[in-house]
Amino acid sequence: MAASKKAKKKPGKQTKSPKAPAKEAVKKVNKAKKSVESAMKKVENAKADAKKADKKASKAKSDAKSADKDLKKAKEAAKKAVKKLEKAKAVKKAKSEQKKKEAKKAKKKETQDTAKKKSKKKSKKKAAKKPKKVAKTKKVSKPKKKKGTTKKKSTAKKGKK
């Protein structure tokens, strides 16, 4: 700036040396180099951060994929468990129905048995009231008398005589 303008001579002041503008230019160049270097470092850091972010993103993506796979597996397992549960419920229901049928049969048989027992008791009571029939044994029969061979005295005739 100062080099481009004409230096005005003031009393008591010296003019700038001719090397001063070159020094300033060198300083500006060095400053520009430093700013470029810092910008390059920032770019490199940004690239590194981008790589890290990319790695994190890819890891997150793979984690999401594995989580999706796990979710699918869990859904399949849940479906299988539901099917098993439904099958178990069906088996349990069938068993309970079978037990009910068996209980009905047992109750029916029990009522039939009690009816038979009651009828047996009634028949036993009737049998107790009636004398028991003794098995017939062969009697030794006495010789039968022939009719008309015995002499009977009629009392009616005696009274008339």
pLDDT tens column, 142-154: 666 666 655 555 5
28 or 123, which is more confident: 28
For residue 91, pLDDT over 90 is answered with yes
pTM above 0.75, yes or no: no
Give the residue from 7, 3, 5, 6 showing the smallest Cα distance to 20: 3
pLDDT surpassing 60 at residue 22:
yes
Distance CA 147, CA 151 (A): 10
**Residues 29, 30, 34, 37, Cα dihedral to 10°:** 70
